[in-house]
Structure 1
Amino acid sequence: MTATTPLKVIIIGGGPIGLTLAQILTSAAIDFLILERRSTVTPEEGAGIAIGPTSFRLYDQLGLLPLMEQISTPIPHKHVLQPDGKVYNSYEFHLRACHGRAMAFLHRLDLVTTLYSTLPDSSKTKIHTGKSLADITLTPTGVTVTCTDGSSYNGTLIIGADGVHSKTRRIMQALSSAPESETLPFETTFQGLFGNVPRLSLPGQEEIEPGHDWECHSGGLSSQFFVGRERGWFIIYRPLPGGSTRERIDYTDEDIKQFAEDVKDMHVTDKLTFGEVFECVNKAGLTQLQEGAVKDRSWKRIALVGDACDKITPNVGLGYNNGVLDVIVLGNLLKRLNESGEQVTEEAVERVFREYQAERKEFSEKVDGAARGVIRTVTHTGWMKYVLDRWINPTLGLDKLYGSKVMGPLMAKQQVLEWLEEKNRIDGTITWAYKGLVITNV
């Protein structure tokens, strides 16, 4: 039995989360289209993305696991150092032991290229680039999206996957008369300089082994340097000059050069300074690091996913993974609705979106709290944060303890797709609560 009004989902934004949702809806046989404002869904932005165990489980279900393993590097090891390069804490992340897989890192371009290229041709034709959202109109039976070029598209509901500066969110809040406090939901306290370098171009490259996260922690400044097989990815964090803001900030090439000059003497590994790394840079960018979450992820036939509704600083590596969990939950709910025989009324869609928000609430709040705490600890924001990072954590192993006792059980409760087999599930010490249609390898 299928819904009396078959679903047609309009996805605003063709980035990593929008393309992941396209993969899920293709598998669920739910019609969709993507409207992407840029001229391509595979731009080179220089950034890397962390992939966690929950995302690898989805890739397994979608048949993408071998490709994702091929283009990513597991990063099980973490080393924390002072600005002079002296290491004061080294350990293995909790993820492999708790969930069977280490966090892995890959190039953003490789991720979106894989997500796009593995879609069937019939799904690729549903992706429209150069389509900047202008307006959304609710109709008695669905929604109409109008783009700035005058084109328009009809569907039954909208998913805003258009990032931290989401136009979908702004229109949704205007339509719903959201309070003024919600119109700028994210606050920026930190900024980040990010980029990537060819691993073999680095000085002393024979000693720069893949699979390591090097972090420098200091007062008002911290760094992460992830070493993959072919690339290294860096991000340098520091408090926003001039104090926190809720306004958008645009940076220039000169801002990037000045930031790099300011931090050139800081070590990003025990042997390499940032200046030595930056001399080999392929591409770099500077961005504000917003934090926060919207109160309401949906209104009537419009819902938000990923950074559009929940912005997490990248220091805990869960931004993309949190968005993946958003679209997994929505995929399960929308497939149920599409096959229910129920008329897809506004009330039915609102019910689905309420379930989505309720399911995602606890994990998103915990991740947000963890990221806020970590970025302030590693930049030693206050003497207690310094003592915690420099002495207490290395002595007691609080990072691993928090990961295994708090975040680990919570991560294990997150959903997988209900209708696909998981052929290569790897178990750790914490049992997964959801297992889809599992076939365990013998």
Structure 2
Amino acid sequence: MTATTPLKVIIIGGGPIGLTLAQILTSAGVDFTILERRSTVTPEEGAGIAIGPTSFRLYDQLGLLPQMEAISTPIPHKHVLQRDGKVYNSYEFHLRACHGRAMAFLHRLDLVTTLFSTLPDSAKAKIHVNKSLSDITLTPEGVTVTCADGTSYNGTLVIGADGVHSKTRKIMNSLSNAPESETLPFETTFQGLFGNFPRLSLPGSEIEPGHDWECHSGGVSSQFFVGRDRGWFIIYRPLPGGPTRERIDYTDEDIKQFAEDVKDMHVTNKLTFGDVFKNVNKAGLTQLQEGAVKNRSWKRIGLVGDACDKITPNVGLGYNNGVLDVIVLGNLLKKLNESGEEITEEKVGKLFKEYQAERKEFSEKVDDAARGVIRTVTHTGFMKYLLDRWINPVLGLDKLYGSKVMGPLMAKQQVLEWLEEKNGIDGSIPWAHKGLVVTKA
């Protein structure tokens, strides 16, 4: 590829991470195409998504902060209870003090709708739906991506943002002759029942916006987030039959049976899950994979988000971890696009290696934290029960770990190098990287 030929990125997957990358590349002046297998990039799903300070910094840089604040609810408070509803721990999350902003929760549909609708028309025209990935071919000049409908797209490189069951990853592993262990890199030990409900459908002051209620008990745990207009829940329990690396497809009957099994479990100090499920808008059941691929790229193919690093949602960092992936790639791609050099396979490979190295430490810490938390809240073993029920409430280990371990690590993560942060988000731990500093006359 010659220096006069512009960089073009083909993104597989138009979900939250794919659309976030589209926003970044649009700002960076990097050409792209998104190929989404579904008929829309804004499907109605029951899930909620947690947004952390690092993602809000990106929204500030992209000019999306007002829109994201309008559709999300800060969740600074956490209450932990037994299955019978007795609260045994309650505190404020460390994020606001450490980083200047609390974790917020919003509806997945609202997130993808906002990310899509705020793109310029020229960028929206680059998003193609009903495009199921069939194959990826490397050429001397770049890549050719073929879809199941027979259409093909040419570009410089491919980024797989197509989730935990990534077809991009499967093709990349096949082309690179990856070891068999990379074919199914994630293991499922837990499953999760998730959904949402209208907030005003339930009575009580305990469902005022801004609270996270968590039931921690032997073999099952819940998270119950309360927003302005709706609430979201997810119930965790070990996978019946034990861990697996195979894909599981669930039915409506599976959802009903799970809900029946946990209907007596309190999700707040007054409400049981049975009370909530009567008013549910939409619910789903999913396996909760854990793990990370050994290599996030091969030659001109790279992976982001759940396609390469899957964590359970109990720590609220799944989407945020993927956002950090595309921030790092955005910075690297902008530099490559403006280098004026021939974009060779070697240069693309170097870019992907820099990306993997930058993301290594944070991703590994998040993976470890999520693994520990889900086993602690479900009291998997006596020591986990002892830690959660007695030691943590007395010593405040959650807040200590958040402020002394994860807080400094989060503060080291990148922002976009070419955009200003107009609404500086600061806390007690200073950010290592700042956006473009604009000198005002």
Instruction: Report the TM-score range of the alignment, normalised by the length of the smaller protein.
Output: over 0.9
Report the Cα offset of residue 426 of structure 1.
1.7
CA distance in structure 2 between the aligned counterparts of 1:349 and 1:151, rounded to whole angstroms: 25
Per the alignment, residue 162 of structure 2 pairs with 162
1:62 and 2:62 aligned: yes
CA distance in structure 1 between the aligned counterparts of 2:80 and 2:66, rounded to whole angstroms: 31
Distance 1:207 1:393, change over 3 A: closer
Per the alignment, residue 311 of structure 1 pairs with 310
Report the Cα offset of residue 15 of structure 1.
0.0
The one-character-per-residue Cα deviations of 1:13-61 (angstroms, maximum 9, x if unpaired) are: 0000000000000000100000000000000111000000000000000
AA aligned to 1:254 is E
The one-character-per-residue Cα deviations of 1:128-152 (angstroms, maximum 9, x if unpaired) are: 0000000000000100000000010
Report the Cα offset of residue 262 of structure 1.
0.2
Report the Cα offset of residue 206 of structure 1.
4.6
| Matched position secondary structure for 1:56 | helix
- Is there any run of 5+ residues in structure 2 with no aligned partner, and where? none
AA aligned to 2:360 is K
Number of matched pairs:
439
| Matched position secondary structure for 2:405 | helix
| Matched position secondary structure for 2:58 | helix
Report the Cα offset of residue 6 of structure 1.
1.1
CA distance in structure 2 between the aligned counterparts of 1:364 and 1:286, rounded to whole angstroms: 25
Contact 2:296 / 2:308 at 8 angstroms: preserved in 1?
A: yes
CA distance in structure 2 between the aligned counterparts of 1:82 and 1:217, rounded to whole angstroms: 6
AA aligned to 1:38 is R
1:32 and 2:32 aligned: yes
CA distance in structure 2 between the aligned counterparts of 1:207 and 1:388, rounded to whole angstroms: 26
AA aligned to 1:57 is R
1:430 and 2:434 aligned: no
AA aligned to 2:83 is P
AA aligned to 1:399 is D
Report the Cα offset of residue 440 of structure 1.
9.9
Contact 2:159 / 2:302 at 8 angstroms: preserved in 1?
A: yes
1:6 and 2:23 aligned: no
| Matched position secondary structure for 2:20 | helix
CA distance in structure 1 between the aligned counterparts of 2:140 and 2:320, rounded to whole angstroms: 35
Per the alignment, residue 287 of structure 1 pairs with 286
CA distance in structure 2 between the aligned counterparts of 1:296 and 1:4, rounded to whole angstroms: 31
**Any runs of at least 4 consecutive aligned residues in structure 1 with deviations exceeding 4 A, and if so which?**
none
CA distance in structure 1 between the aligned counterparts of 2:437 and 2:91, rounded to whole angstroms: 32
Contact 2:35 / 2:128 at 8 angstroms: preserved in 1?
A: yes
What CA RMSD, in Å, does the superposition of the two structures yield over aligned residues? 1.1
AA aligned to 1:215 is E
- Is there any run of 5+ residues in structure 1 with no aligned partner, and where? none
CA distance in structure 1 between the aligned counterparts of 2:234 and 2:92, rounded to whole angstroms: 20
AA aligned to 1:424 is N
AA aligned to 2:38 is R
Per the alignment, residue 89 of structure 2 pairs with 89
Per the alignment, residue 47 of structure 1 pairs with 47
AA aligned to 1:300 is K
The one-character-per-residue Cα deviations of 1:55-74 (angstroms, maximum 9, x if unpaired) are: 00000000000000000000
CA distance in structure 1 between the aligned counterparts of 2:299 and 2:35, rounded to whole angstroms: 20
The one-character-per-residue Cα deviations of 1:253-298 (angstroms, maximum 9, x if unpaired) are: 0000000000000000001000000000000000000000000000
Distance 1:77 1:430, change over 3 A: same
Distance 1:440 1:65, change over 3 A: farther
AA aligned to 1:126 is K
Per the alignment, residue 149 of structure 1 pairs with 149
1:34-433 matched pairs, under 5 angstroms: 34-202=34-202, 204-433=203-432
Contact 1:423 / 1:438 at 8 angstroms: preserved in 2?
A: no
Contact 2:206 / 2:268 at 8 angstroms: preserved in 1?
A: no
When normalised by structure 1's length, the TM-score is: 0.98
CA distance in structure 1 between the aligned counterparts of 2:414 and 2:64, rounded to whole angstroms: 18
Report the Cα offset of residue 4 of structure 1.
3.4
CA distance in structure 2 between the aligned counterparts of 1:365 and 1:73, rounded to whole angstroms: 28
AA aligned to 2:241 is G
CA distance in structure 1 between the aligned counterparts of 2:412 and 2:152, rounded to whole angstroms: 40
AA aligned to 2:349 is E
CA distance in structure 2 between the aligned counterparts of 1:207 and 1:158, rounded to whole angstroms: 47
CA distance in structure 2 between the aligned counterparts of 1:279 and 1:440, rounded to whole angstroms: 56
Contact 1:10 / 1:159 at 8 angstroms: preserved in 2?
A: yes
When normalised by structure 2's length, the TM-score is: 0.99
CA distance in structure 1 between the aligned counterparts of 2:348 and 2:425, rounded to whole angstroms: 35
The one-character-per-residue Cα deviations of 1:148-207 (angstroms, maximum 9, x if unpaired) are: 0001000000000000000000000000000001110000000000000000001x2454
Contact 2:135 / 2:145 at 8 angstroms: preserved in 1?
A: yes
| Matched position secondary structure for 2:112 | helix
Report the Cα offset of residue 439 of structure 1.
5.5
Contact 1:11 / 1:18 at 8 angstroms: preserved in 2?
A: yes
